[in-house]
Structure formats: C-alpha cells, structure tokens
Amino acid sequence: MMGQVAEHQAANNAIAGRNRTKLRNFEEANRQYDREVMLDRAQYRNDIINGDIDYDTIHRSMVDQWTQQDQQLKELFAENDHEMEKALIEMYENEYAGTQTGATAARLAGKSAVKMGQERSRGLHNRMMAEEKAITSKDIARSEAEAKTRSTYEQVRFAPIHGVTPMAPEMEPKKSSAGLILGLATSAVGGYADYQSGLKTDKLLEGIKY
C-alpha cells in the first residue's frame, strides 16, 4: 500500500513537472511574440521616416530637372538673341554700304537682308523646338516622380499585421485518486484475507499440537 501511494505521488509530480515546462515555454513564446511586435513596429516607423525622405528626394530631383531645362532654354534663347543681334548689325552695315554707288554694294545689302530673315526664321524654329522639348522632358520627369512616389507609398502603405498570440498549452491533468483508492482497497482486502488465512492456519497447527 505504501508503494502504491509513493507511485501515485511520483506520477503526479512528473505530471506537474511537465506542466511547469509547458507554462515556461508558453511564457517564453509570449515574450518572443512581444519582441517581434516591438521590432516590427520600430521597423515600420523607420520605413515611414525613410519614405518621407524619399518623397522629398523625388520632388527635389524633379524640380532640379525642371530648373535644368529652364536654364538650357535661357542659354538657347540668349545664344539665339546674340545671333540675331549679330545678323542685325551686319545687315545695317551692308545697308549703309548699299547707299553708296555700285552694284556690289547693293548686292551686299540685299544679301544681308536675306541672311537676317534666315537667322530670324532659324531662331524662332529653334526656340519652338527647344520649348517643346523642355515641356516633354518636364512631363517625363513628373511622370517618373509620380511613379516613384507611388512605389514609395506602396512600401509603407500598410502597417505590419501581427498574427495571433501563442496558444496556451493544454495542461496534463493529475492522476485520479480513484485508482489509488481502489488499489489500496484491493490491497486491504487481500491483506485481510491473508490475515484470516493465517489465523486459520495457526488454529489448525495448535489443534494438531495438542
């Protein structure tokens, strides 16, 4: 009977030990889950900050490209104005020569007027083409900036979604005392039967002795 009690207690102690291990693992899993959530949130906040920086960089790059296009237009217009001024001076010089006598002077004056018209036509054409090219380049730069902005937005659009917390472990129940009680009762009955059998044997031996 003492052995049965000891065996029952040992089994329950083993169950309690396994349950404690499950609880410790469950607590560690929860701590790990909390750490992952904290790191994910920190990473998301950092991604948002980087996204804002990227937005500024994209916008600044687009503005820089526009500024560069405008500068190129100004340079082209200045060069064209210089060519026009040069052609105009040459025309007036040749016109002055044309006022003098002689066919050569008249031919030079007419030639300078034609050249002036050609320079003006070429300058207007170059300006129109340069303005159209600048507008197209600006549109391309804006489209690229919008695409990059959308891409950056998609990267930080959604906050991290965390899964469910770790499931609590299923505890192992202790062994029922009913089995112990039944075993003790069986042992008691068996012991009592052995005791009665021993008494009968003693009486029989005493009868034989006397």
Sequential DSSP letters for 155-182: HSSS-----PPPPPPPPPPPPPHHHHHH
Count of C-beta atoms within a 10 Å radius of residue 116: 19
Domains of the chain, by residue range, sit at 2-157+176-182
What is d(CA 22, CA 30) in angstroms, rounded to the nearest whole number?
Answer: 12
What are the residues whose beta carbons fall under 8 Å from the beta carbon of 63, sequence distance 6 or more?
none
Q: What pLDDT sits at residue 210?
A: 46
Kindly state the average pLDDT of the residues 147-156. 88
**Per-residue pLDDT band at 177 (split at 50, 70, 90):** low
Structure confidence at residue 35 (pLDDT):
92
Q: What is the pLDDT of residues 97-127, one digit of tens each?
A: 545 555 555 555 556 666 666 677 777 777 7
Residues 21, 26, 27, 30, Cα dihedral to 10°: 160
Cβ count within 10 A of residue 112:
21
By the 8 A CB rule, do 91 and 116 touch?
yes
Q: What is each CA distance from 14 to 3, 148, 187, in whole angstroms?
A: 16, 62, 24
